[in-house]
């Protein structure tokens, strides 16, 4: 049996299978901790971590840290998208520009963002600016490449058909190239969203910038192990919520795109 995926609607079978997978992992971790297959001091049971999470939820400190992390994530991802999308469309559309920039891009892209932390601290201190810089650098490349590949993947036949109908260069770009590239850009944004969150938390962990990362280090230093794992769980849940949100927005806004009109198992 198959079911056509509709915008903003998750296939029910996939949801339940995912839920079962999560429950299996949680139960396994609980049993491992209860039978002390790992040191109980450093690997508390899931139920204990869940209790610590429940205690954290009403506190203002948790939500302040979440807000600071999300601020670095949003500003860095927005800056990356604002630069990468137009630049990717330009490079993908102009072959000489692509050839000229390819070597520079291939040199800069493999540089790990964490390797730039010392330079970022010197330039921006340990505040939000440093975090935004690292997030933007890491998130920039997936969006750029997806935009370039999206432009280059447009069929030459489609372009020639538009030309035959008398559409000028700007009209062809706006009516043919840009709509076909949107799905690629959306994929780049979704990938970069996860990368941006990782870099925001990493900057907080390594440098001590305010946010969830610093809260995790503080709990670890104070030997508050359940609290530390609860904060790690909050980070994971936050990443899942952001990814789910991007999926939902992409499915709704690009429901007309062939990439969204796929059949999935019910």
The pLDDT value recorded for residue 248 is: 86
The pLDDT value recorded for residue 5 is: 41
Model confidence at 191, pLDDT cuts 50, 70, 90, reads very high
Task: Specify if 32 maps to a domain.
Answer: no
The pLDDT value recorded for residue 160 is: 66
pLDDT (mean) for 169-184? 76
Instruction: Note the pLDDT tens digit of each residue in 3-39.
Output: 334 444 445 677 778 778 888 988 888 888 888 888 8
The pLDDT value recorded for residue 182 is: 86
Who's near 220: CB < 8 A, 6+ residues apart?
228
Cα gap 70→41, rounded to integer Å:
31
Residue 246, domain CATH: 1.10.3720.10
The more confidently predicted of residues 154 and 71 is: 71
pTM for this model (two decimals)? 0.81
The pLDDT value recorded for residue 135 is: 95
Task: Specify if 146 maps to a domain.
Answer: yes
Cα gap 232→51, rounded to integer Å:
14
Please give the mean pLDDT across all residues of the chain: 84
Task: Specify if 220 maps to a domain.
Answer: yes
pLDDT (mean) for 130-136? 94
Q: What are the two backbone dihedrals, phi and then psi, of residue 2, each rounded to the nearest 5 degrees?
A: -125, 155
The fraction of the chain above a pLDDT of 90, given in percent, is: 40
Phi-psi region of 164 (alpha: psi -120 to 50; beta: other; left: phi over 0): alpha
The pLDDT value recorded for residue 82 is: 96
Task: Specify if 38 maps to a domain.
Answer: no
Write b or e for each residue in 217-250: b if 16 or more Cβ atoms lie within 10 A of its Cβ, otherwise e: bbbbeeeebbbbbbbbbbbeebbeebeeebeeeb
Instruction: Note the pLDDT tens digit of each residue in 37-91.
Output: 888 788 899 899 999 999 999 888 999 999 999 999 999 999 999 999 999 998 9
Model confidence at 217, pLDDT cuts 50, 70, 90, reads very high
Task: Specify if 178 maps to a domain.
Answer: yes
Task: Specify if 209 maps to a domain.
Answer: yes
Instruction: Note the pLDDT tens digit of each residue in 49-59.
Output: 999 999 999 88
The number of folded domains in the chain is 1
Tokens of 83: 């630069």
Long-range contacts for 53-59 (Cβ within 8 Å, ≥24 apart)? 53/230, 53/233, 53/234, 56/227, 56/230, 56/231, 56/234
Task: Specify if 193 maps to a domain.
Answer: yes
The pLDDT value recorded for residue 66 is: 94
Model confidence at 176, pLDDT cuts 50, 70, 90, reads confident
Model confidence at 166, pLDDT cuts 50, 70, 90, reads low
Model confidence at 169, pLDDT cuts 50, 70, 90, reads low
Q: For CA atoms 33, 34, 37, 40, give the dihedral sign.
A: positive
Who's near 144: CB < 8 A, 6+ residues apart?
84, 87, 88, 91, 105, 188
Domain that holds residue 241: 61-251
Task: Specify if 11 maps to a domain.
Answer: no
């Amino acid at each position: 049996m198959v079911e056509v995926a509709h915008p903003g609607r998750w296939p029910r079978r996939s949801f339940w299978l995912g839920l079962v997978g999560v429950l299996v992992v949680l139960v396994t971790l609980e049993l491992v901790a209860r039978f002390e297959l790992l040191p109980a001091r450093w690997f508390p049971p899931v139920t204990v971590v869940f209790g610590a999470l429940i205690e954290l939820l009403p506190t203002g400190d948790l939500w302040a840290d979440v807000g600071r992390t999300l601020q670095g994530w949003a500003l860095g991802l927005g800056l990356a998208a604002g630069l990468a999308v137009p630049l990717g469309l330009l490079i993908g559309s102009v072959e000489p520009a692509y050839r000229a920039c390819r070597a520079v891009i291939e040199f800069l892209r493999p540089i790990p963002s964490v390797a730039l932390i010392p330079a970022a601290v010197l330039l921006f201190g340990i505040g939000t600016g440093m975090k935004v810089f690292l997030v933007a650098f890491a998130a920039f490349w997936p969006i750029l490449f997806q935009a370039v590949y999206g432009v280059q993947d447009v069929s030459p036949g489609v372009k020639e058909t538009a030309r035959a109908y008398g559409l000028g260069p700007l009209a062809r770009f706006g009516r043919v190239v840009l709509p076909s590239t949107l799905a690629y850009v959306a994929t780049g944004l979704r990938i970069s969203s996860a990368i941006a969150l990782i870099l925001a938390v990493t900057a907080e962990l390594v440098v001590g910038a305010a946010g969830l990362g610093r809260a995790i280090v503080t709990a670890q230093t104070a030997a508050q192990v359940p609290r530390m794992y609860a904060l790690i769980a909050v980070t994971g849940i936050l990443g899942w919520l952001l990814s789910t949100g991007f999926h939902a927005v992409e499915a709704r806004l690009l429901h007309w795109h062939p990439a969204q009109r796929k059949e999935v198992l019910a």
